[in-house]
Amino acid sequence: MKVSISGKDSDLAAVFFDLDGTLLNSTESLKGVFREFLAIFSIEYTDSLFQSFNGSTIPQIVFSLRENFGLELEQDELICRYKRMVAESYADSSPYPGACDLLEFLKLEGITLALVTSSLNELVEPLLRKLSWQRYFEYVITGDMVQCSKPAPEPYELVLKLAGKSPQQCLAIEDSTSGVRAAVAAGLPVLSVSSDPVDCGPLVEAGSFLMLHSLSAVKDFLHGNIVADD
């Protein structure tokens, strides 16, 4: 599938999706989990504290909170508690409008699809089964598969290696600055999706070549920029 991206014709072979806040409408529920977890230990919630962990794995979040706020419970117990809370929030989370249509469109076009998320495999796999999304993704990269999660490039470098693709053949779709930075550092072009116009500036500054406000708009962009073969 030849697509014009950022003014250049590219033989698009693979699209790599972030999960939370990109395909799955889960950001607010995860924010609620974070707030509830902090409240257990009488820690004040702030949006800036939540955003500071964007792209972090659950063990990383728990380790940092334990170190910085002196939580007395053992690390493993805190991780288990946080994972249970996230699993419950996932049970109530739904895909964004247009997610299934976009995945189906790309699959029918023969594009290799991968999920690249900082969430843990034991949480992602049940979610994919619930949504019947296993059929879409040839590769699923989770936070427990890498040493350094987003904004480090390792998750995207891993999926490029597994898929056997060059960055120029691929497109990353992200909703956060940490995700954009990770993809850009791996050499990937990045398209950002956010329904909040305020997010536009930081995402573009992080390296996105384009900012769109829905997954339906992403599908329209890709479909509208298909380059006919000579």
**pLDDT tens for residues 8-36?**
777 899 999 999 999 999 999 999 999 99
Q: Predicted confidence band at 40 (pLDDT cuts at 50, 70, 90)?
A: very high
Nearest to 86 by CA among 136, 134, 126, 115: 126
The whole-angstrom separation of Cα 64 and Cα 9 is 43
- The answer to whether 57 and 149 are in contact (CB under 8 A) is yes
Question: How are beta strands 24-25 and 94-95 bridged, if at all?
Answer: antiparallel
pLDDT tens, residue by residue, 62-114: 999 999 999 989 999 999 999 999 999 999 999 999 999 999 999 999 999 99
Centroid of chain to Cα 5 = 20
- Tell me the pLDDT of the chain averaged across its residues: 93
2-26+95-224, what's its fold? Rossmann fold (3.40.50)
* Antiparallel, parallel or unpaired: β 2-5 and 112-116: unpaired
pTM for the full predicted model: 0.93
Q: Is the Cβ–Cβ distance between 133 and 114 less than 8 Å? A: no
d(CA 210, CA 188): 13
pLDDT for res 226? 72
Residue span(s) of the chain under CATH 1.10.150 come to 27-91
The matching CATH number, chosen from 3.40.1190, 3.40.33, 1.10.150, 3.40.50, for 27-91 is 1.10.150
